[in-house]
C-alpha cells in the first residue's frame, strides 16, 4: 500500500481464530488506520504472534454461549478508541482506493454507518456477477450494536454472522470495494454453511415469536424471513442470482455457487420443518 501521511480515525477490528495463513497479508495493508485490534478466540497457531508483529492490539475473547458474541462483546467491553470502527475478516484485503474514499468521506459525514461492497471468490475464481455481496461493516463508534439474539447455548457460532447492525442514524455506502479472498476448500464451505443453516432455522423460530424484530429488519431481511420456509424459496434464489443477476456470466463458477447456495436454503427449509414437527 502506498505511503500516505493521512491517518484515518478508524479502528480496524479483525475477529480471528487460527488465521495465520491470511492475517499478515490483511494487516500489512492497514498502515493508514489509527488503531488495529485483533480479537482472538483462542487460536492455537501463530495468529496472535503475527498480530503482535504488526503492532496490533490483541484482545482475548471466550464465548460462554450467550449474548454478547464476539463483535458486540468488543463494542461493549473493550470499545474502539477511534471515531469509527471497521470490522474486517482476516481474508479481506483493502487497497489505497478504499482508504482514499474513507479519507474523503468520513470527516464531513453526518451518517452513522456505511455499507461495504466486496469482490468475492469461489472455487478459486473471482465472481463478477450474481447477487452483490455487501455488509454493514463500517460503524460510528457508540452508534451501533449488532442485533441481540439470546441463543442460550444452542449455537456453535461465537461471532455475529447474520446478525444485522442496529444503527442510530443514517446509513450510507462506500463504493470502493474490499477484496474478499476466501480460498478455503469446498468441504470447509459446506461445513460452514451447514452450521449457518442450523442457526438460521433456530433464528426463524425466534422471529416467529417476536413481531418487534420486523421493525429492525431491512426490507431484504423481511423478504427472506417471510418466505424462508416456503417450498419455492430455494428455486427463487437460484433464478434470482443465477439468471436475473447474471450469475451465469461467471461460467461454471457462477453455476456451482448458485447451486450450493440453493442447497443451503433448501437445508434451512428442511431444518425448519423438522423443528416444527418435533
Query: CB atoms < 10 A from the CB of 167, how many?
Result: 17
Give the domain ranges of the chain: 8-180, 186-277
CA–CA dist 244, 249 (Å, integer): 11
To which residue does cell 470527516 refer? 107
Q: What is the pLDDT of residues 15-53, one digit of tens each?
A: 999 999 999 999 999 999 999 999 999 999 999 999 999
CA–CA dist 47, 23 (Å, integer): 7
Do 146 and 124 touch, CB atoms closer than 8 A? Answer: no
CA–CA dist 157, 155 (Å, integer): 5
CATH number, domain 8-180: 3.90.550.10
Per DSSP, 74 falls in state H
β-strand pairing of 125-127 with 171-180: unpaired
Q: pTM (2 decimals)?
A: 0.93
Q: What is the mean pLDDT of residues 85-100?
A: 97
To which residue does cell 452513522 refer? 112
Q: What is the pLDDT of residues 162-174, one digit of tens each?
A: 888 999 999 999 9
Give Dmax over CA atoms of the chain in angstroms: 61
Amino acid at each position: 500500500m502506498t505511503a500516505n501521511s493521512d491517518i484515518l480515525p478508524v479502528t480496524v477490528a479483525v475477529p480471528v481464530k487460527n488465521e495465520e495463513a491470511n492475517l499478515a497479508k490483511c494487516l500489512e495493508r492497514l498502515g493508514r488506520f489509527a488503531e488495529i485490534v485483533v480479537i482472538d478466540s483462542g487460536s492455537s497457531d501463530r495468529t496472535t504472534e503475527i498480530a503482535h508483529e504488526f503492532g496490533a492490539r490483541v484482545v482475548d475473547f471466550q464465548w460462554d454461549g450467550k449474548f454478547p458474541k464476539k463483535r458486540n462483546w468488543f463494542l461493549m467491553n473493550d470499545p474502539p478508541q477511534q471515531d469509527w470502527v471497521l470490522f474486517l475478516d482476516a481474508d479481506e484485503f483493502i487497497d489505497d482506493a478504499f482508504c482514499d474514499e474513507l479519507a474523503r468521506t468520513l470527516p464531513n459525514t453526518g451518517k452513522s454507518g456505511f455499507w461495504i461492497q466486496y469482490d468475492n471468490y469461489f472455487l478459486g475464481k473471482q465472481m463478477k456477477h450474481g447477487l452483490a455481496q455487501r455488509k454493514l461493516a463500517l460503524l460510528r463508534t457508540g452508534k451501533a450494536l449488532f442485533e441481540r439474539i439470546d441463543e442460550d447455548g444452542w449455537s456453535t457460532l461465537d461471532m455475529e454472522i447474520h446478525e444485522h447492525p442496529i444503527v442510530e442514524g443514517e446509513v450510507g455506502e462506500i463504493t470502493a470495494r474490499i477484496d474478499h479472498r476466501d480460498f478455503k476448500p469446498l468441504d470447509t464451505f459446506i461445513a460452514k454453511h451447514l452450521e449457518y443453516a442450523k442457526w438460521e432455522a433456530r433464528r426463524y423460530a425466534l422471529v416467529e415469536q417476536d413481531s418487534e424484530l420486523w421493525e429492525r429488519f431491512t426490507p431484504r431481511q423481511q423478504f427472506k424471513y417471510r418466505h424462508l420456509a416456503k417450498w419455492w424459496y430455494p428455486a427463487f434464489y437460484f433464478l434470482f442470482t443465477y439468471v436475473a443477476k447474471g450469475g451465469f456470466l461467471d461460467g461454471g463458477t457462477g453455476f456451482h455457487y448458485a447451486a450450493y447456495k440453493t442447497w443451503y436454503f433448501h437445508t434451512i427449509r428442511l431444518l425448519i420443518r423438522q423443528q416444527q414437527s418435533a
